[in-house]
Amino acid sequence: MLKRKLNIYKSLPIYNVVVFGRDSTIKNVVHSSENFVITVPFLKETILNIENHVKNKMESNLQAGVVNQILSSNIEDPIKKQEHIQNIQNKYKSD
């Protein structure tokens, strides 16, 4: 969805970073150079690592445009947010 939302930034590299709370236990996760599943204590380190590997840096005004488009997709409604969380939990429920 993010790639579609940011279609005007086709050359923009997209990294998937899923961040869980400090006390979370992450199980059975496969990492790659573009996919990260981490806990909060590793967030800053992960972002810095990604930034160090990006070849073409974006100008500040383009960064602001990307951030605004991402924020406009954020789920604000508490009921919809809870439904989203429940859907993800159901999808990845361990048997």
10-14, 19-23, 43-47, 65-69: the lowest-pLDDT one: 10-14
Short-list 38, 56, 55, CA closest to 47: 38
Mean pLDDT of 51-73: 80
Binned at pLDDT 50, 70 and 90, residue 35 comes out as confident
Is there a contact between 50 and 14 (Cβ–Cβ < 8 Å)?
Answer: no
- pLDDT for residue 43 is more than 90: yes
Mean pLDDT of 62-91: 84
The DSSP symbol for 58 reads P
Write the Ramachandran bin of 94: left for phi over 0, alpha for psi from -120 to 50, otherwise beta: beta
> Distance between CA 35 and CA 41 in Å, rounded?
17
Is there a contact between 88 and 37 (Cβ–Cβ < 8 Å)?
Answer: no
- pLDDT for residue 87 is more than 80: yes
